[in-house]
């Protein structure tokens, strides 16, 4: 292990090197050209953008191999989006993967419940929808180690996600619709629970292993990125540890997994990176009779191996899924994904030519968007409103930084300032007579300039508004259509960020503003009056957050 750590320390990009080796080993896999920014593994047999079944796409930070790329193959994932080690993949990579494999049947994104993954995959989903793709998303949180969470963090996505990949991939291979594939994946995610145990934390490439645990200690319920778990305890015999883990997963107090005595289950014993197969088989051999005798459950399937690791962590996790005939049929369905596991199939070709990265719609356009030679009335109003809003943000830069320094890292004003300046610089090229496209361009300016979580949130906001507006008349939008666009934006931010009213976020200002705006417009108030009253509601909503308990840390 020490030799391996020294060798990895000199590798400049372990993820791209890993992908190179993976596609050379398995002839059924290919990758998009675009290293190092775009790291996407896909099925070599899927024709670009012409796939006639639902595409199933997953991904996340690397370091959990064989998840996710090792589960790409017929009957499982159509593509995997690889981020850097323990880092969510960027939006552009996710979009490239969607564009490469999604045909008329649409695509399902399976996302582990981590903030970065939810936001980046969420923004990519909204962008893909605005381009005309059919996209559904299922969030998997199968962690059973911690008590029911407060706030929006929720349960972490762990090894049970692989079972969801298999169910969804088999459903897609059977020719089901996007709605039905998403429904089966969501149902599977609600039937599985996981808990891990480790003797060491993992070693990031080129770094020294943490000694957080110390000799003779084990950690219960830690995360796949080395996050602290439920408890640190003295090392116990494996029988005692397995009994504790099964009890936590099947707890009737948390009721995370809806399984009762007399039921049928699937068992997955997963190595976290450094646990020998011999030890994993010992765990499986002891877990099965405990499930049968201590919990009164029939074990229909047992999967043992390394499915979702944490680089070189010493330990294992156990996943339990409620079994029924449809679930078993999906799990038993044929797949060519190399690490389900299956044997290597076919002859390795002498060379592979990378698949070109699909161009974005803007790159395909023969006529780049630009400012109209003459603005109509709507264009003039829109330009004035955009400039006024951007200048107001610029003037608030120092105040926003000061307020943020009391609760955060003190850069909110600077981040907002960058976005506002980018909008003022780009407005000369906005198609202002087309309000929907202008909203889309504002989102692009923000996404390029702001960065960070806040940049993603505001970009999602504007992309969702564009998707709502683009289906309406381009000759001019009514006040109610603008209100509908605001409602769509709020819904998208809430969906992908996980917050709602009362979580002490920007939604506590936007939601009351929307409700007042809709109400006043419905009763026939003048739009200017309705907007003024809605802005007052927003101020009141912002003031109300003084008395709230913050339940999310990065939601400006």
Over residues 384-416, the pLDDT tens digits come to: 999 999 999 999 999 988 887 776 667 888 889
Higher pLDDT, 279 or 214: 279
Q: Which residues are annotated as a binding site?
A: 61-64, 112, 117
- How many C-beta neighbours within 10 Å does residue 298 have? 11
Out of 35-44, 58-67, 143-152, least confident range? 143-152
Q: Determine the pLDDT at residue 338.
A: 94
- 3 state SS for 428-489: HHCCCCCHHHHHHHHHHHHHHHCCHHHHHHHHHHHHHHHHHHHCCCCCCCCHHHHHHHHHHH
Averaged pLDDT, 13-17: 90
Three-state DSSP class for residue 138:
strand
Residue 161 has pLDDT above 70, yes or no: yes
Q: Determine the pLDDT at residue 368.
A: 54
Cα angle 152-111-12, degrees, rounded to a multiple of 5: 110
Q: Determine the pLDDT at residue 10.
A: 44
Average pLDDT over the chain, rounded to an integer: 87
Q: Determine the pLDDT at residue 150.
A: 56
Residue 351 has pLDDT above 70, yes or no: no
Paired sense of beta strands 298-305 and 264-271, if any? parallel
Q: Determine the pLDDT at residue 347.
A: 46
Quickly state the pLDDT bin for 556 (edges 50, 70, 90): very low
- How many C-beta neighbours within 10 Å does residue 554 have? 16
- With tokens 């009957």, the residue in question is 75
Residue 303 has pLDDT above 80, yes or no: yes
Q: Determine the pLDDT at residue 23.
A: 95
Residues recognised as catalytic:
225
Q: Determine the pLDDT at residue 217.
A: 85
- With tokens 């005939």, the residue in question is 325
List, in order of start, the domains of the chain with CATH numbers: 14-140 (3.40.50.10440), 187-201+217-334 (3.30.1180.20), 377-547 (1.25.40.340)
Quickly state the pLDDT bin for 203 (edges 50, 70, 90): confident
Closest CA to 108 of 187, 30, 38, 29: 187
Q: Determine the pLDDT at residue 55.
A: 98
Residues with Cβ within 8 Å of 528's Cβ and at least 6 positions away in sequence, in order, are: none
Out of 203-212, 223-232, 268-277, 353-362, least confident range? 203-212
pLDDT digits (tens, 9 = 90+) for 168-178: 999 999 999 99
Q: Determine the pLDDT at residue 208.
A: 57
Q: Give me the residues paired with residue 79 across strands.
A: 42, 57
- Asked if 113 and 373 count as a contact pair (C-beta separation under 8 A), the reply is no
Q: Determine the pLDDT at residue 60.
A: 95
DSSP string computed for 203-265: --TTSPPP-SS-TTEEEES--TT----SEEEE---HHHHHHHHHHHHT-TTT--S---TT-EE
pTM (2 d.p.): 0.83
Q: Determine the pLDDT at residue 326.
A: 95
> Alpha helix locations (H) across 335-434?
361-364, 377-395, 397-407, 412-426
CB-neighbour burial class of residue 526 (10 A; exposed 0-12, middle 13-18, buried 19+): exposed
Q: Which residues are annotated as a binding site for substrate?
A: 61-64, 112, 117
Q: Determine the pLDDT at residue 342.
A: 53
Residue 232 structure tokens: 């640190």
Q: How far, CA to CA in Å, does 468 sit from each of 12, 150, 526, 540?
A: 43, 32, 23, 27
């Amino acid at each position: 292990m020490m030799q391996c750590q020294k060798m990895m320390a000199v590798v400049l990009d372990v993820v791209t090197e890993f992908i190179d080796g993976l596609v050379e080993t398995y002839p059924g896999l290919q990758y998009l050209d675009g290293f190092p920014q775009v790291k996407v593994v896909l099925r070599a047999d899927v024709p670009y953008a012409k796939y006639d079944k639902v595409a199933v796409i997953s991904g996340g930070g690397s370091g959990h191999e064989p998840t996710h790329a090792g589960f790409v193959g017929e009957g499982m994932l159509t593509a995997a989006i690889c981020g850097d080690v323990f880092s969510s993949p960027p939006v552009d990579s996710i979009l490239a993967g969607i564009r490469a494999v999604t045909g008329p049947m649409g695509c399902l994104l399976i996302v582990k419940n981590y903030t970065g993954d939810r936001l980046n995959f969420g923004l990519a989903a909204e962008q893909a929808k605005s381009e005309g793709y059919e996209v559904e998303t299922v969030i998997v949180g199968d962690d059973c180690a911690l008590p029911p969470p407060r706030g929006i963090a929720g349960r972490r996505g762990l090894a049970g996600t692989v079972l969801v990949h298999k169910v969804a991939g088999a459903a897609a291979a059977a020719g089901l619709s996007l709605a039905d594939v998403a429904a089966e994946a969501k149902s599977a995610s609600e039937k599985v629970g996981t808990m891990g145990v480790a003797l060491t934390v993992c070693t990031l490439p080129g770094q020294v292993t943490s000694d957080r645990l110390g000799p003779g200690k084990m950690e219960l319920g830690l995360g796949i990125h080395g996050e602290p778990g439920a408890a640190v305890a003295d090392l116990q015999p494996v029988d005692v540890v397995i009994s504790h883990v099964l009890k936590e997963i099947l707890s009737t107090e948390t009721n995370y997994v809806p399984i009762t005595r007399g039921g049928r289950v699937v068992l997955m014993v997963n190595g976290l990176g450094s646990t020998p197969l011999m030890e994993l088989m010992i765990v499986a051999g002891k877990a099965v009779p405990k499930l049968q005798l201590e919990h009164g459950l029939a074990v229909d399937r047992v999967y043992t191996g390394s499915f979702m690791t944490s680089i070189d962590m010493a330990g294992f996790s156990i996943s339990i899924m409620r079994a029924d005939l449809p679930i078993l049929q999906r799990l038993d369905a044929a797949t060519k994904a190399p690490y389900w596991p299956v044997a290597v199939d076919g002859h390795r070709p002498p060379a592979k030519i990378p698949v070109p990265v699909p161009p974005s719609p803007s790159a395909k356009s023969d006529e780049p968007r630009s400012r109209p030679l003459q603005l109509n009335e709507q264009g003039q109003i829109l330009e004035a409103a955009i400039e006024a809003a951007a200048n107001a943000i610029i003037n608030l830069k120092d105040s926003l930084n000061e307020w943020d320094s009391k609760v955060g890292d003190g850069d909110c004003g600077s981040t907002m300032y960058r976005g506002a300046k980018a909008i003022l610089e780009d407005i000369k090229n906005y198609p202002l007579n087309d309000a929907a496209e202008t909203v889309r361009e504002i989102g692009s300016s923000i996404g390029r300039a702001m960065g960070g979580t806040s940049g993603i949130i505001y970009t999602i906001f504007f992309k969702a508004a564009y998707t709502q507006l683009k289906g309406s008349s381009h000759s001019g939008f009514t006040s109610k259509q603008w209100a509908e666009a605001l409602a769509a934006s709020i819904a998208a931010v809430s969906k992908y960020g996980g917050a709602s009213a009362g979580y002490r976020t920007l939604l506590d200002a936007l939601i009351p503003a929307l409700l007042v705006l809709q109400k006043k417009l419905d009763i026939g108030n003048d739009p200017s009056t309705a907007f003024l009253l809605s802005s007052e509601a927003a101020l009141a909503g912002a003031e109300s957050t003084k008395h709230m308990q913050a339940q999310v840390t990065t939601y400006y």
